[in-house]
Amino acid sequence: MDLKIKCDEILGMESRYRIHFINSLSGFKSANLVGTVDKQGRENLSIISSCFHLGADPALMGFIVRPHSAPRHTLENILETESFSINHVNRDIIKNAHQTSARYDKEESEFLHCKLTPTYEENFQAPFVKESKVKMGLKKEEVIKLKNNTELVIGKIELVILPEYCLKEDGFIDIEKSETICVSGLDSYHGTQKVCRLSYAKKDKALEEFKN
């Protein structure tokens, strides 16, 4: 049977219950670790599930920072250095990645406390996560404050690092091969299994299905 839950019932939910409920609604989400460093060299790492594609020319990526959430230090560092990395969470580092959402002080590196390894690339300031297989280096493009005090961070992709075996001949990256996982709600982690790739949709033309 279907439940129909109205606006006032959502407002009446107990706060933690509502957070689980609303966070589950958008569907499966990407799981990424954002790596930053401040001017004093203090590293920060934070899991985000709101990373999205914003454009391919120029190559832009965005993510959301909510008020008082763990990624606040991340945002401060991005404003300070304009540099950040986005690193896919894979099956082997789910717990490490989830642990970065705990409230650590700015002096404490999540890399250290969550047992992940910072690595650096030439001419790029922010640290990457060694254990992550698909990773990007970005430069801050814009930070936009939205109505409910969340902030939208937009970055331009400067560098992409990925295993050669993930890159297909049409430019598609097979992120199942990198064991990239996805998340639902606040805390549920999922592996994936490809159903199919579909051809470019055109009016009055049947879709073709590609199994690999």
* 189 is a site residue for a second copy (CB under 8 A): yes
DSSP string, 80-138: HH-EEEEEE-BGGGHHHHHHTTS---TTS-HHHHTT--EE--TT--SPEETT-SSEEEE
Whole-number Å distance between alpha carbons of 30 and 174: 14
| Residues of span 57-86 touching a second copy by CB under 8 A | 57-62, 64, 66, 86
Structure tokens, 175: 């992120």
> Which CB atom, from 39 or from 174, has the smaller least distance to a second copy?
174
Site track for a second copy across 94-133, x = CB under 8 A: xx--xxxxxxx--------x-------x------------
Stretch that binds a second copy, among 37-45, 76-84, 89-97 (CB under 8 A): 89-97
Structure tokens, 204: 């009055």
* 5 is a site residue for a second copy (CB under 8 A): yes
Cβ atoms of 73 and 106 closer than 8 Å: yes
**CB of 80 vs a second copy, minimal distance in Å:** 21
Stretch that binds a second copy, among 36-44, 75-83, 134-142 (CB under 8 A): 134-142
Q: Residue 158 carries which side chain, given as an amino acid letter?
A: E
Of 42, 81, 91, 109, the residue at the interface with a second copy (CB under 8 A) is 91
